[in-house]
């Protein structure tokens, strides 16, 4: 897939009018590598939390409830 560079026309259609990427670039220059690593790790931990919620929900939906009672036959 061929990705195009943003032009003046596409930037005017964007919510941020092309300012978002510029701000992101400015913050990256200001942040230290350690700060960048902390924010990266926080994103990873957030996604792990979402995964945990999904796994828990899947577990609850996957449980097989035993129907009836078990009766020993002599």
Domain tally for the chain? Answer: 1
Q: Could you tell me what percent of the chain has a pLDDT over 70?
A: 77
Quick check: is 15 in a domain?
A: no
pLDDT value of residue 4: 53
38-72 pLDDT, tens digit per residue, is: 989 999 999 999 999 999 999 998 887 767 787 88
For 4, residues 6+ apart whose C-beta sits below 8 A from its C-beta are 10
Q: Please say if the pLDDT value at position 36 is more than 90.
A: no
Range of the domain at 57: 32-62
Report which of 46, 25, 47 is spatially closest to residue 36, judged by C-alpha positions. 25
Residue 18 CB-half CA count within 13 A = 9
Quick check: is 52 in a domain?
A: yes
Quick check: is 26 in a domain?
A: no
Quick check: is 69 in a domain?
A: no
pTM: 0.48
pLDDT value of residue 1: 47
Q: Cα separation of 60 and 52, whole Å?
A: 12
């Amino acid at each position: 897939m061929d990705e195009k560079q943003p032009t003046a026309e596409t930037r005017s259609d964007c919510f941020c009018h092309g300012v978002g990427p510029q701000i992101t670039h400015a913050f990256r220059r200001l942040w230290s590598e350690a700060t960048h690593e902390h924010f990266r790790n926080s994103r990873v931990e957030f996604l792990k939390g979402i995964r945990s919620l999904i796994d828990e929900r899947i577990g609850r939906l996957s449980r097989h409830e035993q129907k009836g009672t078990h009766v020993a036959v002599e």
